[in-house]
Amino acid sequence: MSAASPVIERGTPASRISAIAVVVIIALLAVAPHFLSAGAVDRMTALFIYVILAAMWNALAGFGGLVSVGQQVFFGLGAYFAIRLADAGLNPFASLFVSAIIVGAISWPMSLFMLRLRNGEFAIGMWVIAALTHLLVNLDRLVQGETGTSLISLNVYDVGVRRATIYWLALAAMTALLAMLFGLLRGSTGAAIRAIRDNEEAAASVGVRVTGTKRLLFVLAAFGIGMAGALWLATSITFQPKTYFSVQWTAYMIFMVLVGGIGTFEGAILGALLFFLIETWFGGTGVWYLIGLGATAVLFSLFLPRGLWGTLEERFGLRLLPVGYRVRLPADAVDGDTAPSTQQSTAQREKA
């Protein structure tokens, strides 16, 4: 490339280091159950589930521009179908995964309908769906109303084996879902997604398939959150509809994404980590903990709407897991910096 033209790059030196770091971290996490205590393994499993929830809600709201306060519907359904499948005789671990697929499949026809609602209407319309689904699940005799039921078939496994297996399943699910989202955002769909996020009408006018792209995010989020619900069921065994269909889950997702940085890939992960730490330290304080979460969400939405990561990214030009393109002017362009990643020659839409 000539020195006169601006350089369009996908990765930065920091991002190449962080790519290696990600691999190392996942490898370390994979062997961690051999060294951690039982309680710590359970907590780490919860963290993985939080990361999934944050990443999926962020995919929908941060990238698709679809704020839903009814995502607990997929969380609850993920757990419910796992119960149903296991009751029908399927292996409990397999039923977790099949359940998530069913949730994703259900979300597709739902999207035909719900995606025609806009902004607040979509947000609260999803809430109605969640409330209705909760009531309908209660009617199932197997669930016994609010009394709930348990994933009994999991009890045939030794408690240690069970804990480690769920840990690895959660880690694998988190890694796979994040990789899927990352791949999606880096590909051509990613450019469409960001174009929609920035200006839906403008995106449509240059030929972006707005509805199809949103539908993809909606179904992915439903699948991921369904997986999270099924995994949560596996860790806690008991299924009480009230707990799983609680709007609290969406409140957690919103908190994680708002604090971490809405619309940034790294932000959702950071938010989940912070939420995990806050929960570990303050979760015991009960109602004040919830008040604190709500107040923090309000303050972030008012004063730091880009969240922690969004603000850091803006200030320091930091990209650890770059999903967009960036343009550097020739003055500070570094030639000869051979990037291992493919350099796109045409910048369609840049992420500022």
Q: Which residues bind other proteins (CB under 8 A)?
A: 61, 65, 67, 69, 113, 116-121, 123-125, 127-129, 131-132, 135-136, 138-139, 247, 251, 254, 258, 287-288, 290-291, 293-298, 301-302, 305
- In the complex, least distance from residue 332 CB atom to other proteins, rounded to whole angstroms: 31
Q: How far is the CB of 301 from other proteins (least distance, A)?
A: 4
Q: Are 61 and 270 in contact (CB under 8 A)?
A: no
Residue 98 CB, shortest distance to other proteins, in Å, is 27
Tokens of 19: 């790519």
Q: How far is the CB of 107 from other proteins (least distance, A)?
A: 16
| Residue placing its CB nearer to other proteins in the complex, 100 or 308 | 308
Residue with smaller CB distance to other proteins, 94 or 136? 136
49: its two tokens: 């589930």
Q: Which is nearer to other proteins, 69 or 220 (CB)?
A: 69
Task: Of 253, 239, 214, give the one whose Cα is nearest residue 72.
Answer: 253
Nearest approach in angstroms of CB 80 to other proteins is 16
Nearer to other proteins, 118 or 238 (CB): 118
CB of 113 or CB of 281, closer to other proteins: 113
